[in-house]
Structure 1
């Protein structure tokens, strides 16, 4: 480079010294950053890339009137913030693997529990079947008892019907016998009463003194009060014959015939005692 004649002369050692001082300052700053970065981190920081120059930059001599400008500072790369390392996972104590005898014991225990559960299930099923069988038996017995009860009721009804029919037949026979006996008794009583009426009429007729002027066959009715022994207490005419002499002759004949013949049977005697309705005709 050709300089004008009147240009001042510049010594070169000065710029080189300044550049060297600047470079040393930059290195010192980096060293401080590294020291403080290491002290702030709990772990090793990430590597920092630093560009190192093999030679110092050339200093351009200042132009005539202007003093030479210092070279721009070297670019300093800001170190990336170191990411915090993830917290270590807590160490969990894992149970030790069972030994061979423990495994066999666990298997035996599990098999025992399985057998117990199986037995419990079988026992429950047996209980359910037994309960069902018991209910079936109870139902069968109840139905059988019901059938027996119905059969017994039918037999009782048939027996009661037969008894009622037999009783009805017996009652009918008894009533028929009673009616027959009563008829027979009434016939017997009527016969006895008729006989004693005839006897009384014959006795009274034997004691009657008919008047001479009596004509025809006049009828006279008298009410005769009698004692159970047949003795006459009183006689009164209830229906006159129209002939006073004949009526009086019949009354005297009844009184003269006392005691009148009465039947010994009490029922037959009831037709005469206490009062007898006596009818008399002279020609009968």
Structure 2
């Protein structure tokens, strides 16, 4: 109700009033209590960690048996005295009793020495157990290492066997390929030889046909001497020296004479060569011997190897040419 009234006064234009300051004593008390509690925890913690030094007590015992104290000597009996007068009775003398004999107490076991011996034995046992445990661990580790080494050795052996098997398979495959290639090569060589033989046979048949035709022409020319002489006259002046030189050079290149050339003079052999229009040699006839049969045969072989002979520049050939070779001019 008052708050509503103050608000209405404030709204109505009354002056603003500062609220009263709160009481500080509860806060101060709370702070003091917290500090006191913290101080108490510190004191308790310091006392808790401050261990008192352990006091060591030792008792020394003498193992020799102690003798009991000797009994007191007996007192002499008093001499009889005359009976006193009955007025006052004399005091009765008191006899001293011997002190009781103290029995020796049983020896007390030194607790500290027993505890020390017990701790020593326990420590020794613990060390032995630790040593045994270490030995077991080392033995286990050694067994594991041996197992790993054995596994590695087996793996390496398997890899080597696999590698050897692959190498053997590769070599067998290469050998098979090589064998197949040799078979193909032999088959190809055989086919080439067959094709070459067939071509040579066809060429030989062709040459035989040309030879036969040429022989017929020569034979027909031989029956008409006039025409042959006129042909020789007409063709003799037209022989090209360069053409003959090319034929001689080819024959010389195909001639091989292994004999000695150390002979007197310079022997010469001359051959008459008949050829076809294609340059193929039709016949070889020796017209002059050098006197050395081996040299004559070597030159004849060289002539046959030179077929077909070179042609002229215009592509024609001389049907019959004469070539001569001297021994010392062949090298």
**Structure showing greater relative contact order (alpha-carbon pairs closer than 8 Å, 6 or more residues apart):** 1
Q: Which has the larger radius of gyration?
A: 1
